[in-house]
Structure 1
Amino acid sequence: MRRRLLQSLVPMVIVLAIVAAVPLANFIATGASRTLFLSRSNDADWFATMAEGPLQSGDIASLRELAVRYHQLYNTPVFVVDVDSRVIATSRSGVNIAEPDLATALSSTLAGRLPAEPPAMWPWKSGEMVVARPVVNNGRVLGAAVLRVPTERARDQVQNGLLLLLAGLIVAIVAVVIGIVRPVSRWVLRPINDLDNATHQVTRGALDTRVSTDGRAPELRRLGDSFNSMALSLHQARQREREFVADASHQLRTPLTSARIHIEGLSRLSPTARFALSDIDRLGRIVQRLSRLAGSDRPGDAEGNEEPLDLAQAIKERLVGWKAVYAADDLELIIGEMVPGGVASELEVDDILDVLLDNASKYGAPPVEVSVLRDGTEVVLSVRDHGLGLGSRDLKKVGERFWRSAHHREMPGTGLGLAIVRSEAARVGGRVVARPPIGGGLVIEVRVPLIDDYDL
């Protein structure tokens, strides 16, 4: 936004500088023209005085000699005409008094009037300046003395003056932009920048962030008040959420402890009871996480300090209950290679395995094989069934929310299982891969980053 503001202010400064520079440039050109005209007018007056006697006596030799000497000294041609516009003395031959500028100057001078000052001299124009003065005796015009003044040097001076003006203009624009426009733009945008910084703080979880509204424009004051109200509402909502989570986790501890005591006694008699016991333990861990979350001030503070989890060991423990479930349905569950590998402790291994084995039993065909392997920097949980599998087009859609293949749309389900698995894997930097194995069926791989410093 600051760049857009500068893009609108800087052209305005440039336009104002150009508007101010045009009169100055005209003053430079006009001043040089007037200075040259006045200096040569004095010489023309002197020649008019010197030509008064020769024009009356007819002896023009001395007048011609003065004109030649002046021409050689100042490089300025001079000629004298009588009242009938006939050239009687000149410093060079070939004078054409019919030229427009000469004719205009002579007609005015011989009529007893002083010609007007010449226009401003600009570097891109050329030509000589005509300076004429009447030769007068007792109020009667006898003729005129005319100088053809070269203007190259004066135009060079004007050009140098314009270049200096341009340089000063550029320096002035830069100074105004740096000294005025930029500070003004910062001052104008400071409330917006403060609001932007406060918004970023809120997105990072600092819901107690507020912006100052003192001394601001009414519109910005209303915007700041709206932001503060929104941040307060979010803070209160987060506070209520934390209180609810804390209360819920506290209320759940007692019944979970009681249920675990009862189920622990049954686990010695039934594998299914041991499976239920692991679910109770998982609920206990969830309650513990909720309790830590309730005491966290920033998102993400509740996790990240636990020891890495051995994925192979966690899968083997969870498979104890699933073997009993598969056996009850006359399904074969094969436990393949289990290579130890550390993964992030917050990975919900039980949820992921439950979804994969439930899908394999409903949509696939036995035997179902589960394995944990290492592949470079990843630990791979692989679940394979021997059903019909999926086509290449359907393989690309595995993990999309509410998606189900055409072969399984009549079967019960929501189409969210693999989407949950993909979300859980992504939460720890992992991914889900579906591929057709050799021999038919379907393999679902959950690939999560290996924690290198895990102590096997």
Structure 2
Amino acid sequence: MVIVLAIFAAVPLANFIATGTSRTLFLSRSNDADWFATMAEGPLQSGDIANLRELAVRYHQLYNTPVFVVDVDRRVIATSRSGVVVAEPDLKTALDSTLAGRLPTEPPALWPWRTGEMVVARPVVNNGRVLGAAVLRVPTEHARDDVQRGLLLLLGGLLISVGAVVIGIVRPVTRWVLRPLNDLDNATHQVTRGALDTRVSTDGRAPELRRLGDSFNSMALSLHQARQREREFVADASHQLRTPLTSARIHIEGLSRLSPTARFALSDIDRLGRIVQRLSRLAGSDRPGDAEGSEEPLDLAQAVKERLVGWKAVYAADDLELIIGEMVPGGVAPELEVDDILDVLLDNASKYGAPPVEVSVLRDGTEVVLAVRDHGLGLGSRDLKKVGERFWRSAHHREMPGTGLGLAIVRSEAARVGGRVVARPPIGGGLVIEVRVPLIDDYEL
């Protein structure tokens, strides 16, 4: 009976060794294939493949692994060795899946009696369009030797102490069963915190748990790609706006010497340019901390009062009441874009709220608080938690014009100086949006 139990225990362990070694090799070479796919994006579009071919040759010499790149029509563009036949069954299968944009299939277990190379292929993608594929033909001799040594050690352990294996298998199996669940739980928490590149390993696990892990990885990949597409959209939009803004500024700058109105237009063009820069930062395309400014603190109350001069006229033209509340002086970081923050908050209050709209600047401990309150319908508890998310809009306001980026930009600007945005329902109804930024202690009133 003990021998039978040992045999039954040895089968999954042997499969663990073979499949684990296979997946480890596959994942390690997948990273290299992803790198080649990234490097091949430019050459496939420009046609300049000399550097790509040199990289493939060097990689082949270093790792003894042939590599080649094909375009979407399966023509070999760059290769580390001649004689590549893409019609070979293993290559054809890999290219069919890769060029169709499907996820790679699980590699077969590397048993010692099997021969042949492992094919690792990754698509070359630009803006969601498949341009070709990078393919590695990975030798498996060393990996099969490792599997053979592992199987021999396993067999030797069973022959030396069958009883010890049976007794000692209870704890490892328990860990083996619970570890994937713990890993999946930890990975889920990482994704909820925004780490969308988190993945779970599926090496050597039960088929049900392996499928669960694969499903989680596919979900995380989809979320990561969606976030990446969102950032690319914002970055591309801001990039496309820069050229016409620069051209418009040049033309209006020439008119500004003749017309005071043109000078106001020039100021608005400059503000649009700053908005485009913040869109780039919001998309993650610009590094934080690049903004330049004076080292003197900014009096938030004074900056708000100056900006409110123009907004009082705007509100009066629309028969809306704008109340200037308490204005307590307080020094904040000079790079804080007060005008743009106040523009977003007052524009939202006039469109989505109801008069009167009250603006105040207060101190709260170590923070200076810019608060804008309206007397509209306000937001529910669920919606209050989502204020400041990119492209989010309340269900009551989705039919109204807007992009859903205004408060996201405000939150990004506040965070850039160590601040935060708080939305809360005030007593009496409506909505209060507070921009809380750190108080500079040595600011002199």
TM-score under structure 2 length normalisation: 0.40
- Distance in 2, Cα, partners of 1:37 & 1:158: 14
Distance 1:332 1:305, change over 3 A: closer
**SS of structure 1 residue aligned to 2:442:** coil
CA offsets per residue over residues 19-72 of structure 1, 9 Å max, x none?
Answer: 999999999999999999999999999999999999999999999999999999
Equivalent pair of 2:291/2:335 in contact (CA under 8 Å):
no
Equivalent pair of 2:17/2:150 in contact (CA under 8 Å):
yes
Q: CA deviation at 1:252?
A: 0.9
Equivalent pair of 1:271/1:324 in contact (CA under 8 Å):
no
Equivalent pair of 1:315/1:349 in contact (CA under 8 Å):
yes
Equivalent pair of 1:422/1:431 in contact (CA under 8 Å):
yes
Aligned length: 445
CA offsets per residue over residues 289-320 of structure 1, 9 Å max, x none?
Answer: 33234446999999999998642354244234
- Distance in 1, Cα, partners of 2:6 & 2:300: 72
Which residue number in structure 2 is paired with residue 89 of structure 1?
78
Report % sequence identity. Answer: 94
CA offsets per residue over residues 319-338 of structure 1, 9 Å max, x none?
Answer: 34325535756989787775
Equivalent pair of 2:282/2:409 in contact (CA under 8 Å):
no
Report the more deviating stretch, 77-86 or 318-327: 77-86
- Distance in 2, Cα, partners of 1:115 & 1:285: 43
- Distance in 2, Cα, partners of 1:58 & 1:258: 32
Q: CA deviation at 1:253?
A: 0.7
Larger Rg: 1
Q: CA deviation at 1:217?
A: 1.1
- Distance in 2, Cα, partners of 1:203 & 1:160: 41
CA offsets per residue over residues 78-101 of structure 1, 9 Å max, x none?
Answer: 999999999999999999999999
Q: CA deviation at 1:15?
A: 25
Distance 1:386 1:173, change over 3 A: same
Equivalent pair of 2:6/2:165 in contact (CA under 8 Å):
no
Q: CA deviation at 1:153?
A: 71
Distance 1:233 1:155, change over 3 A: closer
CA offsets per residue over residues 254-274 of structure 1, 9 Å max, x none?
Answer: 122233445556778888766
Distance 1:221 1:268, change over 3 A: same
Report the more deviating stretch, 364-373 or 61-70: 61-70
Report the more deviating stretch, 275-284 or 417-426: 417-426
Distance 1:410 1:14, change over 3 A: same
Q: CA deviation at 1:228?
A: 2.4
Distance 1:175 1:444, change over 3 A: same
- Distance in 1, Cα, partners of 2:346 & 2:280: 30
Distance 1:246 1:116, change over 3 A: closer
Report the more deviating stretch, 270-279 or 257-266: 270-279
Distance 1:437 1:259, change over 3 A: same
Distance 1:67 1:217, change over 3 A: closer
- Distance in 1, Cα, partners of 2:42 & 2:346: 131
Report the more deviating stretch, 238-247 or 294-303: 294-303
Equivalent pair of 2:119/2:137 in contact (CA under 8 Å):
yes
Equivalent pair of 2:422/2:435 in contact (CA under 8 Å):
yes
- Distance in 1, Cα, partners of 2:301 & 2:352: 25
Equivalent pair of 1:296/1:302 in contact (CA under 8 Å):
no
Equivalent pair of 1:335/1:370 in contact (CA under 8 Å):
yes
Distance 1:383 1:266, change over 3 A: farther
Equivalent pair of 1:263/1:277 in contact (CA under 8 Å):
yes
Report the more deviating stretch, 248-257 or 57-66: 57-66
- Distance in 2, Cα, partners of 1:282 & 1:112: 42
**SS of structure 1 residue aligned to 2:161:** helix
Equivalent pair of 1:385/1:443 in contact (CA under 8 Å):
yes
Gaps spanning 5+ residues in structure 2: where?
none
Equivalent pair of 2:111/2:148 in contact (CA under 8 Å):
yes
Gaps spanning 5+ residues in structure 1: where?
1-11
Report the more deviating stretch, 245-254 or 339-348: 339-348
Q: CA deviation at 1:426?
A: 10
Q: CA deviation at 1:226?
A: 1.7
